């Protein structure tokens, strides 16, 4: 029995989330006043217990709980402190029990402090950006905030006109009244809490291309031309990634360009958010467009079960930058890998990719060493087997959560199929050196046999 409703504690997120229960669906009914930064919401959570419980703890930060109701068990009382909403049950609830939790809440939402800066709901000069990775989701709704607890969503949000709202999922209705519009989005694909989002601003929507899936941009009027110029080749980018990584995992893809500058862009489910500065920069930020798109496969569809395994998202997204560079006429993946290997060799050799430590999950070495691991694996498998391995990974675990052990097992399966036990042994040693060791291994180049041309045939 888990008396505290916490379940197993993840050392990478000891004060967030619980493995003792699973949220199957979030229904969020929100009203937001931009000029007052005032949010009022009713969140209905469909929950299934995974262990015997006497209490259930949700994450909610900076907002005031007005009322809590519970169906499926008796609620003795609730306590909201230290960013945790704890429901004390009237008796023990057994594993497998279906519960419905309704939380009415409100206040002035604000981003949550983290070791990497503020995350979550953040006011713009005129509107809102919600970028929750890794722990910002509780800034705007009560949730089981752990990346492996993926749920479906319905998000209804009423906002003053003329603001436009984008949330994750498909727009199913927008009803305009005299002074406000209610926007309703439904996300039927499993979504991690950190990928749930709301974007609010005075945006125009423009379709970039319709194939292989609809790709659109939400952009302030003043930035329309710059956005179209920077994203002119987005259709080719999407087509290329779908060829390498497998079919795009969602129905549509939207890029949001805020009027404000943003320090970094960030992905959400089915969309990515960029600042105005990312349209005009000439210092290599164009690489961030393929990086964020790649996250739809690596991170969003196939999600890390814990932040410990973030290299599986960031390593592949970084490697996607290198692949697109080669495809679009820039430097080859081999050349970029060699450059970054030299740079990493001059840095401290104290980071283990499989377990970097919580405060170092966004260390650039996680990104670049992760990409180098992928490149080294490609070199060992050969190009055709590498693509088959990647497409198998995104297909097998679509909508799920993964660990480094899952990836190791998957890669070894493909190595065995490709080259038998000898190649499997080589790949096993390669992965141990790159993933489990701190010292940077030597880099063997990939095949360099014009593999991108071969994939086009």
Structural contact between residues 204 and 220, judged by C-beta atoms closer than 8 angstroms: yes
Say whether pLDDT at 3 is over 60: no
> How many beta carbons lie within 10 A of that of residue 162, not counting itself?
8
Average pLDDT value over all residues in the chain: 94
pTM score, two decimals?
0.95
Report the C-alpha gap between 308 and 403 in whole angstroms: 8
Contacts of 455 (CB under 8 A, 6+ apart): 243, 244, 383, 387
For residue 444, what pLDDT band results from cuts at 50, 70 and 90? confident
* Cis amide prior to 258 (ω within 30 degrees): no
Rounded percentage of the chain residues whose pLDDT exceeds 70: 95
Report whether 22 belongs to an annotated binding site: no
Structure tokens of 438? 């701190």
Say whether pLDDT at 449 is over 70: no
Say whether pLDDT at 450 is over 70: no
For residue 400, what pLDDT band results from cuts at 50, 70 and 90? very high
Catalytic pick among 194, 248, 319, 367 = 367
Structural contact between residues 305 and 146, judged by C-beta atoms closer than 8 angstroms: no
Question: Quick one: how far is CA 68 from the chain centroid?
Answer: 29
Q: Can you list the pairs that 407-415 forms with residues at least 24 positions away whose Cβ atoms lie under 8 Å?
A: 407/312, 408/435, 411/377, 411/381, 414/381, 414/385, 414/388, 414/389, 415/380, 415/381, 415/385
Say whether pLDDT at 455 is over 60: no
What integer pLDDT is reported at residue 8 of this predicted model? 76
Report the C-alpha gap between 45 and 63 in whole angstroms: 17
Ranges of beta strands (E only) in 195-274 are: 198-201, 204-209, 214-219, 252-257, 266-268, 271-274
Say whether pLDDT at 29 is over 70: yes
Report the C-alpha gap between 383 and 380 in whole angstroms: 9
Catalytic (active site) residue 413? no
Report whether 314 belongs to an annotated binding site: yes
pLDDT tens figures, 271-287: 999 999 999 866 666 78
Catalytic (active site) residue 292? yes
Structural contact between residues 112 and 139, judged by C-beta atoms closer than 8 angstroms: yes
Report whether 66 belongs to an annotated binding site: no
Tell me if residue 236 falls in helix, strand or coil: helix
Per-residue 3-state assignment (H helix, E strand, C coil) for 307-343: HHHCHHHHHHHHHHHHHHHHHCCCCCHHHHHHHHHHH
Structure tokens of 102? 């309704």
Closest C-alpha to 311, from 217, 402, 224: 402
**Which domains does the chain show, CATH number per domain?**
1-201 (2.60.40.1730), 203-296 (1.10.390.10), 303-456 (1.10.390.10)
Catalytic pick among 259, 292, 321, 327 = 292
pLDDT tens figures, 241-256: 999 999 999 999 999 9
What integer pLDDT is reported at residue 9 of this predicted model? 79
Q: Between the CA atoms of 288, 290, 291 and 294, what dihedral angle is there, to the nearest 10 degrees?
A: 160
pLDDT tens figures, 341-388: 999 999 999 999 999 999 999 999 999 999 999 999 999 999 999 999
Report, in this order, helix, strand and coil percent for the chain, each rounded to 5.
35, 35, 35
φ and ψ at residue 59, rounded to 5 degrees = -100, 125
């Amino acid at each position: 029995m888990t008396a505290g409703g916490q379940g197993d504690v993840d050392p990478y997120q000891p004060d967030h989330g619980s493995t003792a229960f699973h949220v199957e669906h979030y229904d969020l009914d929100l009203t937001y006043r931009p000029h007052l930064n005032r949010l009022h919401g009713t969140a209905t959570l469909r929950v299934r217990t995974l262990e015997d419980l006497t209490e259930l703890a949700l994450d909610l930060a900076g907002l005031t709980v007005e009322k809590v109701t519970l169906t499926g068990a008796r609620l003795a009382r609730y306590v909201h402190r230290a960013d945790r909403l704890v429901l004390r049950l009237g008796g023990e609830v057994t594993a497998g029990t279906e519960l419905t939790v309704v939380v009415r809440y409100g206040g002035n939402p604000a981003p949550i402090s983290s070791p990497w800066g503020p995350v979550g709901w953040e006011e713009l000069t005129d509107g809102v950006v919600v970028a929750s990775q890794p722990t910002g989701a509780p800034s705007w709704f009560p949730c089981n905030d752990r990346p492996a607890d993926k749920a479906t969503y319905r998000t209804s949000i009423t906002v003053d006109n003329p603001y436009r709202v984008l949330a994750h999922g498909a727009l199913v209705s927008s009803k305009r009244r005299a002074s406000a519009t209610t926007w309703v989005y439904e996300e039927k694909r499993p979504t991690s809490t950190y990928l749930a989002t709301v974007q609010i601003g005075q945006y125009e929507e423009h379709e970039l291309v319709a194939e292989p899936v609809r790709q659109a941009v939400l952009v302030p009027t003043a930035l329309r031309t710059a956005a179209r110029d920077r994203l002119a080749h987005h259709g080719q980018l999407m087509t290329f990634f779908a060829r390498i990584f497998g079919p795009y995992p969602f129905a549509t893809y939207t890029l949001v360009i805020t009027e404000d500058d943003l320090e970094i862009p960030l992905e959400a489910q089915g969309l990515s958010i960029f600042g105005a500065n990312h349209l005009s920069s000439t210092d290599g930020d164009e690489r961030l467009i393929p990086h964020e798109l790649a996250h739809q496969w690596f991170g969003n569809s196939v999600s890390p079960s814990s932040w410990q395994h973030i290299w599986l998202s960031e390593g592949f997204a970084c490697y996607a930058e290198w692949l697109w560079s080669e495809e679009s006429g820039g430097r080859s993946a081999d050349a970029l890998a060699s450059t970054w290997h030299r740079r990493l060799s001059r840095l401290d050799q104290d980071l283990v990719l499989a377990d970097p430590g919580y405060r170092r999950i966004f260390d650039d070495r996680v990104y670049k060493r992760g990409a180098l691991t992928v490149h080294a694996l490609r070199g060992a498998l050969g190009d055709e087997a590498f693509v088959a391995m990647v497409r198998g990974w995104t297909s097998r675990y679509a909508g799920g959560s993964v660990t480094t052990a899952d990836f190791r097992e998957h890669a070894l399966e493909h190595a065995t199929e490709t080259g038998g036990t000898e190649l499997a042994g080589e790949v096993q040693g390669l992965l141990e050196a790159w993933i489990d060791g701190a010292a940077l291994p030597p880099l063997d180049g990939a095949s360099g046999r014009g593999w991108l041309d071969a994939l086009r045939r």
